[in-house]
A and B are shown apart, each in its own frame.
Chain A
């Protein structure tokens, strides 16, 4: 590594110019010659047997090139439980079940044809809540598992649990116990760029799919499996990622619409693009899973936690995608947010006829942190300890190993609490209470900061290729979603190698050119890319410096000759013998210039600028024979695999990340007790980020997380009735607007310099939204004396709670 010149600065993000100029190409902007448009026919029922699908009217529509159903297309089954056929044959299990798809010459024709498909159903009773799904005699959503073995329950066979310490002893030791039931809503990730895919085959049967994905390589694996079903075993799959338009978890799994674009392209021999509009995005893309949880914890008279129990029930919807595995991350706050000697965790994941769910930023963490941080405030009240103080009392410490086996390493939570307390004027604002209708609340968070091992590899590969002009081309398999990954890579490669950030080009993510990466999730992008890049940079520097003694002398001799041409009396002040004696260890590369350093006997650089050799010139010299080169070009790859463990999920044990990000948020609110409206007055976020890589993109991540947290806390909910989405659009699904983000926000960053992170950095993609909702609930409680345990905290719920309080 060279010295730190660019890490910690905020040059414009490399892909930003195209974005502000309207030149960035999203899936919606990409068309290719001969491209057809795909449209999907979805179910009219939440649960029904399919009697007949008649596509004849659709096929007859001019402009239609193909109509596919399960009856004329090879079967492809997707999902990690193997429970989701791409085209449904026997029955539909949710309103978004795919019955047929059309490829047509224009989008309007495709859509019209899809509507002309006639489907006859035999409606079945549906189950639309966990209670209904688990009731005696409830209709089964899946009658068999993927191997055809009959199932007897709607419960998914996924076990995430945890028991540590002596829970009974913890109960006994507790002087105070707080307990509550909490619920979190179904919410939509709401990427501004909607979903889509463009599939095309070449004449050899090789597939290229341009897809809005966060997991190009796992998608390649999934699509490759599907190729076998099409009789294309052995043909290649190439996944290309366009400018994404936001991810937030939506791209963590492959989607049926992607397979449909593949099937239609295969059937027609033409490129086929399937796009979602906003309404379809709401109705047919997998949202964040809703949860019900029961949280119970206790503390002794000094406020020290003695036990914690968390039970979670999830309405999974009709098929299993990653929403089903939120408990894997719920284990983090449950076992490892604050020091708790005895912990119990149970989860129950249940199929229903609702829409099936997927990942979203935070992935189970905010769902559980709500209950933990709310009951912690109740313990503070019961024990008469200030809420900020009780968090200090139980604060995690550096180097500890948590009940889950997390090796905490660095932990800046104590400093985060101090800074948030100070910047929010906590002691002055807390407890003003009902007289003012103003209040302040706080919540902490833990999240993975060094990847999150949920697959057999949590690794990332990188390729650095130097061209003849000193430009480094980076091929990295992770995805720039808007979070600033490419900016972070350019800064880290710049400092890691010794070039300017403007000489680092991060190429489009493409499985054909980039080495394997598990996916951009779990706040891992910059952490993994940085560690991989530093490995590759070290190799590259070693090779460059190995070559340096062979050509450097000649290049400097040319510099001297040039200087003499300008100034006949020029005297370098040393003999060329000194140059010939230089060894690889005596070279340095900085901002794209190669020069000797250390005890070389050469004059200092400031007096001898001609000792600097432009990297491009050096590379050309090594490449071409003129200056002693030998056809050498520089490309280095590296693969970084963090030293983490794939947890045993049934035991809830394993060090899944290389580092852990801690932090907290304090929120000050005012509540209008007549209308129930909540106004945020101020928010302070303090986050242990390890090291600030790019202050601007870091702030952007946290501000954005806070806005999503605000939406989760106060506004957002996908409403459904009998499995149908009632508010599929921004008219009735309200995101915070600029006017809602009108309160002052102060960001504090604690730099703990974690040894596992590139330049000491931890992952920070998700934490921004984790503590917002619980801090809000705690602030509202402080303001008006009522506690809301059910998100979003709408004015209606506040007035109900006030009425209940006053009526009681």
Chain B
């Protein structure tokens, strides 16, 4: 077993993991942070997307011990836990119909966070490219595009 020390949603976190476990197992099973979803386990659907050192990754393809010393941001860490606890981007998904069954939503939101950090005012085509690794079966994506556009036009990047 490996002991890993890393920053999870701004908090210093220590955990003991099987070296062959994936980051998603560490988050969901070891730490009980179940906001991150497993949709396929092979990097095709993006439901498990989290940010590691500020970049979107599939937590189902990311070795858990690799987070040593790194910063991990999940859907639970986007906003503080007071009140409704939604970031402007999450609120934009809620207001614009960007969620239906909701299973893809945490990963979709995290992919959007990654996009908006790199590109504050993405075009529709930029959004489509950025979300190509995130499958959704309910929405047909259109209202997800609209959610991200709304967040981007609201402030500077929608994440503040």
Contacts and interface: CB of A to CB of B under 8 A. Distances in A.
A touches B (Cβ under 8 A): yes
B39 A278 contact: yes
Interface string B64-91: 0000000000111001000011100011
A247 B103 CA distance: 12
Interface string B128-154: 110111111111111111000000000
Contacts of B137: 189-192, 246, 248, 704, 707-708, 735
Contacts of A739: 128-129, 132
Contact of A192 (B28, B90, B103, B142): B103
A742 B41 CA distance: 26
A29 B76 CA distance: 14
B96 interface: yes
A245 B96 contact: no
A85 B42 CA distance: 33
Contact of B39 (A18, A25, A192, A741): A192
Nearest to A23: B35
Q: Which of A16, A243, A735 has the most CB of B within 10 A?
A: A16
Q: Which of B95, B136, B140, B143 has the most CB of A within 10 A?
A: B140
Contacts of A703: 139-143
B99 interface: yes
Interface in B1-47: 28, 34-42, 44-45, 47
B38 A20 contact: no
A20 B128 contact: no
Interface of A: 10, 12-13, 15-26, 28-29, 189-194, 243-248, 277-279, 481-484, 696-697, 699-700, 702-708, 729-731, 735, 737-739, 741-742, 745
B101 to A, nearest CB: 3
Q: Which of A15, A24, A699 has the most CB of B within 10 A?
A: A24
A26 B133 CA distance: 22
Contacts of A278: 39-42, 45
27 contacts: A13-B99, A20-B91, A21-B79, A21-B84, A22-B106, A24-B102, A28-B37, A192-B47, A243-B101, A245-B102, A245-B103, A246-B103, A247-B101, A483-B100, A484-B100, A699-B97, A699-B142, A700-B140, A703-B140, A705-B140, A706-B140, A707-B139, A729-B40, A730-B42, A737-B131, A738-B134, A741-B128
Contacts of B75: 21-22
Given A26-B37, A738-B132, A745-B142, A482 B100 contact: yes
B127 interface: yes
Contact of B138 (A15, A700, A745): A700
Contacts of A742: 124-125, 128
Chain B: interface size category? 35 or more
B143 A20 contact: no
A706 B136 CA distance: 13
Q: Which of B85, B96, B135 has the most CB of A within 10 A?
A: B135
Nearest to A24: B102
Closest 10 pairs (CB-CB, A-B): A22-B35, A482-B101, A19-B102, A703-B140, A22-B75, A707-B140, A482-B100, A730-B44, A192-B103, A738-B131
B116 interface: no
Q: Is the interface of A mostly helix, strand, loop or mixed?
A: loop
A420 B96 CA distance: 25
Interface in B34-62: 34-42, 44-45, 47
Given A12-B94, A19-B101, A277-B41, 4 more contacts: A192-B137, A245-B102, A702-B140, A739-B128
Given A22-B74, A22-B76, A696 B96 contact: yes
A599 B107 CA distance: 57
A245 B133 CA distance: 18
A192 B45 contact: yes
Contacts of A189: 137
Given A20-B109, A23-B35, A192 B135 contact: yes
Q: Which of A20, A25, A277, A484 has the most CB of B within 10 A?
A: A20
A368 B98 CA distance: 32
B33 to A, nearest CB: 8
A699 B143 contact: yes
Contact of B102 (A190, A243, A706, A737): A243
A20 B93 contact: yes
Q: Which of A19, A24, A248, A738 has the most CB of B within 10 A?
A: A738
A739 B28 CA distance: 30
Contact of B101 (A193, A707, A738): A193
Nearest to A481: B101
Contacts of A194: 39
Nearest to A26: B103
A526 to B, nearest CB: 14
B94 A20 contact: yes
B42 A741 contact: no
B1 to A, nearest CB: 15
B100 A704 contact: yes
A745 B41 CA distance: 32
Contacts of B129: 738-739
Contacts of B125: 742
A730 B45 CA distance: 7
B91 to A, nearest CB: 8
Contacts of A12: 94-95
A731 B61 CA distance: 14
A739 B135 CA distance: 10
A731 B40 CA distance: 9
B27 to A, nearest CB: 11
Nearest to A278: B40
Contacts of B133: 737
B42 A20 contact: no
A739 B36 CA distance: 23
A630 B125 CA distance: 63
Nearest to A108: B18
B113 interface: no
A257 to B, nearest CB: 17
A737 B46 CA distance: 11
Contacts of B39: 192-194, 278
A21 B86 contact: yes
A10 B84 CA distance: 19
Contact of A738 (B93, B103, B127): B127
B59 to A, nearest CB: 13
A192 B38 CA distance: 9
Contacts of A190: 137
Q: Which of B37, B99, B133, B139 has the most CB of A within 10 A?
A: B99
Contacts of B86: 17, 20-21
Nearest to A730: B44
B145 A192 contact: no
Contacts of B79: 21
Contacts of A483: 100, 138
A248 B135 CA distance: 16
Contact of B142 (A697, A731, A741): A741
Contacts of A699: 97, 142-143
A482 B102 CA distance: 7
A245 B105 CA distance: 10
A730 B101 contact: no
B79 to A, nearest CB: 8
A707 B141 contact: yes
A20 B90 contact: yes
B97 A21 contact: no
B35 A700 contact: no
Contacts of B95: 12
Contacts of A705: 140
Contacts of B38: 28, 277
B139 A737 contact: no
Nearest to A695: B97
Contact of A696 (B85, B143, B144): B143
Contacts of A741: 128, 140-142
Contacts of A15: 102
A277 B40 CA distance: 7
Nearest to B124: A742
Contacts of A704: 100, 137-140
Given A16-B99, A243-B102, A708-B137, A22 B36 contact: yes
